[in-house]
């Protein structure tokens, strides 16, 4: 009975016909009421707005990702975010990049290094933090100085690429919520990445909602 209910009532996991033996591991001591609370509402996933096709990138383009827009959106509640627009940087806007100077990481203009938007972007995190508390995962745009998950170029002050890492918004998310599942659109291009992310979302959601007071 419980097995029948699980796919009917937690439809995101029908996406890839997952075998939810794991479901029983995660719910062993849960009351039906708590299980209802977890299953009946859709998971909440924050998404970089440009991946939904919104034309918010620095050059006025979008980066629509069909699997997110056409498939995932029917199984999850997607919460769009764009740190650079929310920081008031406008569209179009001068492109920025990450620059490391000793221990500090700054977000400065790619062509005009006197343009420093580090402070403006960190204010976005303060506004968005409460939304992230209610998320079960985040899908973020690769290589972005704000949203990149792991592959955003970081430059030295002399202008050479010294390493790669997360964008500034992602760094703040990881610092505050180290277990929150994060992925970029490139890692969702194949089945393995999608299934792995959904399982992480499922686990995180169970633990997040179980921790809420009744
Ligand atoms: S990568 Fe992030 S900051 Fe850049 S346009 Fe997309 S949502 Fe906005």
- CA 50–ligand 1 middle distance (angstroms): 6
Please write the tens of the pLDDT for every residue from 33-52.
767 766 677 889 999 999 99
Buried residues in 158-186 as b, exposed as e (16+ CB within 10 A): eeeeeeebbbbbbbbbeeebeebbbbbbe
Determine whether the shortest distance from the Cβ of 82 to ligand 1 is under 6 A. Answer: yes
Measured from the Cα of 147, ligand 1's closest atom is 2
The closest-lying atom of ligand 1 relative to the alpha carbon of residue 49 is 7
pLDDT tens across 47-100, in order? Answer: 999 999 999 999 999 999 999 999 899 888 999 999 999 999 999 999 999 999
Q: What is the pLDDT at residue 123?
A: 96
SS3 call for 56: coil
pLDDT, tens digit, 9 for 90 and up, residues 187-201: 999 988 998 898 899
The CA angle 204-53-99, to the nearest 5 degrees, is 75
Residue with the nearest Cα to atom 8 of ligand 1? 82
Closest ligand 1 atom to residue 83 Cα is 3
- d(CA 101, CA 162) in angstroms, rounded, equals 11
Residue 4, SS3?
Answer: helix
pLDDT tens-digit profile of 115-173?
Answer: 999 999 999 999 999 999 999 999 999 999 999 999 999 999 889 999 999 999 999 99
Question: Where in the chain are the domains?
Answer: 2-210
Name the helix (H) or strand (E) containing 48.
Answer: strand 44-48
Q: What's the pTM value of the predicted model, to 2 decimals?
A: 0.89
């Amino acid at each position: 009975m419980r097995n029948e209910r699980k796919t009917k009532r937690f439809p995101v996991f029908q996406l890839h016909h997952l075998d939810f033996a794991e479901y029983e591991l995660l719910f062993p001591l849960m009351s039906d009421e708590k299980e209802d609370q977890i299953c009946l509402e859709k998971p909440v996933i924050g998404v970089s707005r440009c991946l939904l096709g919104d034309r918010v990138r620095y050059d006025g383009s979008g980066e629509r990702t069909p699997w997110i827009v056409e498939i995932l959106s029917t199984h999850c509640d997607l919460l769009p975010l764009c740190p650079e627009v929310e920081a008031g940087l406008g569209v179009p806007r001068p492109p920025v990049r990450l620059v490391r100077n000793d221990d500090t990481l700054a977000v400065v203009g790619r062509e005009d290094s006197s343009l420093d938007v580090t402070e403006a972007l960190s204010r976005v995190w303060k506004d968005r933090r409460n939304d992230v508390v209610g998320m079960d995962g985040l899908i973020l745009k690769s290589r972005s100085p704000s949203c990149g998950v792991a592959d955003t170029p970081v430059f030295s002050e002399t202008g050479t690429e010294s390493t790669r890492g997360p964008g500034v918004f992602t760094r703040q998310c990881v610092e505050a919520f180290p277990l929150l599942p994060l992925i970029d659109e490139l890692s969702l291009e194949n089945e393995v990445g999608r299934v792995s992310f959904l399982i992480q979302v499922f686990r995180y959601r169970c633990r997040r909602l179980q921790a809420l007071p009744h």
